[in-house]
A and B are shown apart, each in its own frame.
Chain A
Amino acid sequence: MKAKHQRLMLALAALVAIIGAGLLAVSALKDEAAYFYTPGDVKTKGVEPGKNIRLGGMVVKGSLKRAADGVTIRFDVTDGKATVPATFSGIAPDLFKEGSGVVAEGSFDPKGTFVATNLLAKHDERYMPRELEGMSYNESTHEMKAER
């Protein structure tokens, strides 16, 4: 075997080993590296009240209500598997709205309502002009269709 081929085999073996180690590390991290809990995670795993977490999901359409004090809002967060009620007092980002993504920082109170201390808006991967807003969108084919 020529020295060059030896080096090639060595380099490829090392590369395979490194990628394998990387994948192992990443798969071990899988849950720990998640940026937020979804309502489904909260339901299956359980999060004790008072523990600081991030809760992420979609704001349920029609659930957003403003309290009489003018700064407190109530809304439901869902991931399709479970729905959790949440409250927040303060200024929400501009992109925070019903039917859109949200990441809330805070903790659950004993009654199971998520009390957020900070809200972040999460948008999806679609970008389009205003004229196309409201068209239905197929996530797997990226196709847009006019509704009706």
Chain B
Amino acid sequence: MAIGKMPYWRSASRAATHAALMHRFANPARFLKIARPLTGWLFWPGLLLILIGSACGLFVTPADYLQGDTVRILYIHVPAAWLGMGGWSGIAIAALIQLVWRHPLAAIAGRAIAAPGALFTAICLMTGSIWGRPTWGTWWEWDGRMTSMLVLLFLYLGYIALANASARDGQGGVSNVTAIFGLVGAVNIPIINRSVVWWNSLHQGPSITLRGSSIDGSLLWPLGLTLLGFSLWFGAIVLMRMRAILAHNKVEARMQRLARG
């Protein structure tokens, strides 16, 4: 950092009052103070919920009237789909904060979200494929829901490649070009959500809507556990990755100082 240039978080705290809370966390030390204990608080309860939810989904709930035991994969498939889409929503929000408020943590958050987001999207596609074979009679069909979800996976891979290709040394966050890509890619999220409503598709319509759920309560409750559990885990992974990027930045800065002598 150039001599005489104030650190971002100090100059910003004077200028903006409406975003005071957001800018508090522009200081990495302050962010880390909260992120460090929070990681464990998200990780372990998340793991516990995933294990309890999966066990209940496997052994406690009744089988479906039509699909039998095959239906139990939904306790993994649905949280994976939700987090794949939620991840990109997070990337888009981080991108907006990065582009408008120039918040340094937003750029780091975008990069931290990308890998687990891509992972959960891949899990959603794989479990969907495994589920489709015994129920629909096919591993894969190019219907609206499946195709738009595959596009989401490719968007994640493109985002990661772009972030790596245009990374700025020692900053760890994604470049502005990558952030713009993250914002543009968000168009796909409502398309995935509405794909089964707009177009007739092999994938069934939405089960859980604002009006209620067409999944009977006796099958539904473990989904709440795994949904919350995987979400907490997602948060823990993002915090871990943000901390790793910040630690890497610190090492980089120290190495550069040492090299300069």
Residues of A within 8 A of B (CB): 4, 7-8, 11, 14-15, 18-19, 21-22, 26, 30, 33-36, 38, 56, 92-96, 100, 103, 119-133, 137, 140-142, 144
Contact = CB atoms under 8 A, between A and B. Distances in A.
B214 interface: yes
20 contacts: A15-B183, A19-B187, A26-B198, A30-B198, A33-B199, A35-B200, A35-B201, A56-B200, A94-B135, A95-B67, A95-B135, A120-B138, A121-B136, A122-B136, A122-B202, A126-B214, A126-B216, A128-B65, A128-B219, A144-B216
The 5 residue pairs across chains A and B that have the minimum distance between CB atoms? A93-B137, A129-B62, A128-B216, A22-B187, A35-B143
Contact of A123 (B99, B102, B198, B204): B204
Interface stretch (B82-90, B151-159, B205-213, B252-260): B205-213
B96 interface: yes
A120 B141 contact: yes
B215 interface: yes
Contacts of A92: 137
B34 interface: no
A120 B136 contact: yes
B211 A141 contact: yes
Contacts of B64: 127-129
Contact of A125 (B187, B199, B204, B220): B204
A120 B214 contact: no
B229 to A, nearest CB: 20
Interface residues of B, number: 47
A103 B202 contact: yes
Interface string B63-77: 111110001001000
B187 A132 contact: no
A127 B211 contact: no
A142 B65 contact: no
Contacts of A127: 64, 67, 71, 74, 207, 214-216, 219-220
